[in-house]
Amino acid sequence: MIEALKQNYGYLFEPALLEGISNVGQLKKVPEGFQLMDIGEPIKGMPLILDGAIKILREDEKGNELVLYFIERGDTCAMTLSCCVGMAKSEIRAVAETDTTLIMIPVEKMENWMATYKSWRQFILQSYHDRLMEMLDTIDSIAFLKMDERLLRHLRDKAMITRDDVIQTTHQEIAQDLNTSRVVISRLLKKLENQGKIQLFRNSIKVIDL
Amino acid sequence: MIEALKQNYGYLFEPALLEGISNVGQLKKVPEGFQLMDIGEPIKGMPLILDGAIKILREDEKGNELVLYFIERGDTCAMTLSCCVGMAKSEIRAVAETDTTLIMIPVEKMENWMATYKSWRQFILQSYHDRLMEMLDTIDSIAFLKMDERLLRHLRDKAMITRDDVIQTTHQEIAQDLNTSRVVISRLLKKLENQGKIQLFRNSIKVIDL
DNA sequence: AGTGTCGTGTAACCTTTGTTACCGATTACC
DNA sequence: GGTAATCGGTAACAAAGGTTACACGACACT
């Protein structure tokens, strides 16, 4: 574990902190589609992603979903940080977008390390910052963009985090991610294909115009 | 200044920190409508609100606006915190919603106090948490609600922060806040009035159903 | 091969929201 | 008092997105 940790976070954290993490942290490998956290669930720990990607999404009472953003290698989940401060319940759902390796850190350590390690403080603040910016991005998309632009952006995001211009997914799944209906997505995807921006296949989409 | 400071933040910060704030902080009184910060502007300092309320909004390249949330007495602006970490440019615009009194703290002090005062650390983290939750709320509104519900929610928010069920505003201004057109707002306001949830006057709206 | 399920394309229609245009009332300013 | 600007109501229409229904091919399972 310490090896993968050093590789991803070595330049960030001082040796003593790396050691602390590897002592109390719990290595976890989860397959694609695995649900790491759900809305209303108490927070068990804070994840440090070593490899893979996680989809963070929001749901309302009626079951409508919306993807907020993805987190990747080197990231952590600000919502988790957040919950250590105030309430203990998660406001979001986290689902592994690809096979993912991560370290879970018990929440008790956080305040502790905040006082001790400057690098930890900076990491936490940076994470909050990054997540706030992602949320701003999300808000920009929903508030200012039409569905076809949101769709294209979503496809590019997915291509980016999987590092593959061919996305394995269905129209139905995209519709859920963007909180709209399958018919609408099929319609717009066809339009994007006619514009030469993507290529459609059964169960996959190739993004041309990255 | 130290008096107003103690009154609003005394229970949060230890005496030494309060003293530090009152030494380096700069007291500011701004009138309603005053623009405290704009998108792209470098961040000068971090505001602690003593009295009043500030509207935080986002704008895209085309000039479309959207209100993100309001901050009030006892709050600070997470975007400012955020900018001390990464870039130095503001991502948002801040406009005084009412006459407002605040203390500006130079950004240099932040990292300093983070190491020294536990209460400061907790305040910063709590602020980040609060702001993230507000952003989630905003996303919920835009993503899951129809315009009439968003409108009603906006009116209630405004009533809340001004502590007055009569809102002084125009349909045009509301339309800007919600990134839609005046005609749409007029239409929906009329509907809400017919439903008995509000009462319309020239330049003001009374929220019945708080 | 036969059956059922899943993924996709498409048409028809409805609702919500955005746009343009116009009008009357109120207010501000000279 | 006259004039211009602002504010709000409304109609008519356009565009975007949501809904329902159905067809057809791919695929899985037996």
Q: Are residues A16 and A91 in the same domain?
A: yes
Of A58, A115, A126, the CB nearest to B139: A58
Among A19, A89, A96, A88, which Cα is nearest to A55's? A96
Q: Is the shortest CB-to-strand distance from A112 to strand C under 7 Å?
A: no
Phi and psi angles of residue B71, each rounded to the nearest 5 degrees, phi first: -120, 150
What average pLDDT score do residues B34-58 get?
Answer: 92
The CA–CA distances, whole Å, from A187 to A141, A178, A181 equal: 19, 14, 10
What average pLDDT score do residues B114-122 get?
Answer: 87
Burial of B185 per CB tally in 10 Å (0-12, 13-18, 19+): buried
Which nt has its C1' nearest the CA of A201? C8
Q: Can you tell me the distance from the alpha carbon of A164 to that of A206, in angstroms, rounded to the nearest whole number?
A: 9
Domain of B86, CATH number, reads 2.60.120.10
The residue out of B143, B159, B175 marking a domain boundary is B143
Q: State the pTM of this model.
A: 0.93
The residue out of A143, A161, A177 marking a domain boundary is A143
Mean pLDDT computed over every residue of chain A: 92
User: Which pLDDT does position B125 carry in this prediction?
Assistant: 85
Are A140 and B58 an interchain contact pair (Cβ–Cβ within 8 Å)? yes
User: Which pLDDT does position A6 carry in this prediction?
Assistant: 87
Phi and psi angles of residue A56, each rounded to the nearest 5 degrees, phi first: -105, 125
pLDDT band at B84 (very low <50, low <70, confident <90, very high): low
Q: Is the shortest CB-to-strand distance from B170 to strand D under 7 Å?
A: yes
How many domains, chain A? 2
pLDDT band at A186 (very low <50, low <70, confident <90, very high): very high
Mean pLDDT computed over every residue of chain B: 92
User: Which pLDDT does position A87 carry in this prediction?
Assistant: 62
Domain that holds residue A154: 146-207
Q: Can you tell me the distance from the alpha carbon of B168 to that of B197, in angstroms, rounded to the nearest whole number?
A: 17
Q: Are residues B111 and B192 in the same domain?
A: no
Q: Are residues B36 and B100 in the same domain?
A: yes
Q: Are residues A57 and A93 in the same domain?
A: yes
Q: Is the shortest CB-to-strand distance from A146 to strand D under 7 Å?
A: yes
Domain of A195, CATH number, reads 1.10.10.10
User: Which pLDDT does position A83 carry in this prediction?
Assistant: 67
Q: Is the shortest CB-to-strand distance from A200 to strand D under 7 Å?
A: no
User: Which pLDDT does position B110 carry in this prediction?
Assistant: 81
The secondary structure element, H or E, covering residue B112 is helix B108-116
User: Which pLDDT does position B86 carry in this prediction?
Assistant: 62
Q: Are residues B199 and B134 in the same domain?
A: no
Q: Is the sign of the CA dihedral A190, A194, A198, A200 positive or negative?
A: positive
The residue out of A143, A160, A190 marking a domain boundary is A143
CA torsion, points A53, A103, A87, A82, in degrees to nearest 10? -60
**Which residues from 17-36 of A have any strand C atom under 7 Å from their CB?**
none
Please give, rounded to a whole number of angstroms, the shortest distance from the CA of B143 to a CA of chain A: 7
The CA–CA distances, whole Å, from B140 to A65, A121, B24, B65, B177 equal: 10, 30, 38, 17, 16
Are A132 and B78 an interchain contact pair (Cβ–Cβ within 8 Å)? yes
Q: Are residues B31 and B104 in the same domain?
A: yes
Query: Residue B166's CB: how many other CB atoms inside 10 A?
Result: 12
Q: Are residues A177 and A84 in the same domain?
A: no
Summarised one tens digit per residue, pLDDT across range B136-182 is: 999 999 999 999 999 999 999 999 999 999 999 999 999 999 999 99
Q: Are residues A151 and A125 in the same domain?
A: no
The label of the residue with tokens 């997914």 reads A169
Q: Can you tell me the distance from the alpha carbon of B177 to that of A78, in angstroms, rounded to the nearest whole number?
A: 27
What average pLDDT score do residues A173-184 get?
Answer: 98
The whole-number Å distance from A204's CA to C1's C1' is 29
Summarised one tens digit per residue, pLDDT across range A9-52 is: 989 999 999 999 999 999 999 999 999 999 999 888 889 999 99
Q: Are residues A19 and A110 in the same domain?
A: yes
Are A58 and B140 an interchain contact pair (Cβ–Cβ within 8 Å)? yes
pLDDT greater at residue A32 or residue B122: A32
| Protein-proximal nucleotides of chain C (any atom < 7 Å from a CB) | 6-12, 16-21, 26-27
Q: Are residues B177 and B77 in the same domain?
A: no
Q: Are residues A38 and A135 in the same domain?
A: yes
